[in-house]
Structures are given as C-alpha cells and as structure tokens.
Amino acid sequence: AQSVSQHNHHVILSEAASLELGCNYSYGGTVNLFWYVQYPGQHLQLLLKYFSGDPLVKGIKGFEAEFIKSKFSFNLRKPSVQWSDTAEYFCAVNAYNAGNMLTFGGGTRLMVKP
C-alpha cells in the first residue's frame, strides 16, 4: 500500500522567512500529487496539484512545489511567509491505479510569528 510521509510535524517561522515543507511518498508508479491547506477552524482547500508536465508547480498565495521523481518527493515552498499562512498543510498522493482515492500525509502545522 502506498504511504505519504511529512517529516516536519511542527514548523515555526517568523514573517518573511522562507518555507520548505517536505513530502515523500512510497508508490513507484505514476502518481498525481497535491498539497492541501487547512486554516484554523476551516476545511481543507487545494493549494496546488501536479498531474504531469513541468515538475515545478505554482499554486495559490505564492506557494509552489517541485516534483522530483527520482526522490519520490513533492516539497512545498514559499519564498516569504506571512502571518496569514499559519495553518496545517497536508501532502496527498493519488496513485494512477487507485481511481479517485487519496492517501494523505500526517500534516505539518505551520505557525508564523508576526
């Protein structure tokens, strides 16, 4: 069975710092990759997704992620975080043969200090 690992469980940054959240998955075949964000008290929203093509994907609110197939990774980045980025971030993977099924990582809680 596929699995998704997010190694940073809690991250605390000051405003304007750069952000990189790690995501690794275990499935060896074709995958679709996602980052979801959950702001305090809200439901999950799609931040960005990778299906194919350019491995550097741009999402909303200045976030981007890079798919590195050889490393089974899909790390999330933002050059300069804001207080409003305080949220929990989830990486998710859809294996090509898994229909519409998503496997989620454990999540990373980001706190940005003003």
Residue 24-63 contact track with other proteins, rule CB under 8 A, x = bound? --------x---x-----xxxxx--x-x------------
Name the minimum Å distance from CB 93 to other proteins: 10
Return the SS3 of 81.
Answer: coil
User: Given candidates 56, 60, 68, 101, which one binds other proteins under the rule CB under 8 A?
Assistant: 101
Note whether 86 and 40 are within 8 A (CB): yes
Residue among 46, 21, 18, 20 at smallest CA distance from 33: 46
Cβ count within 10 A of residue 109 = 14
Query: What is the distance between the alpha carbons of residues 25 and 75, in angstroms, rounded to a whole number?
Result: 11
Instruction: Tell whether residue 97 is a contact of other proteins (CB under 8 A).
Output: no
Size, binding site for other proteins by CB under 8 A: 23
Binding footprint of other proteins on the chain (CB under 8 A): 4, 6, 9, 32, 36, 42-46, 49, 51, 90, 92, 94, 99-102, 104-107
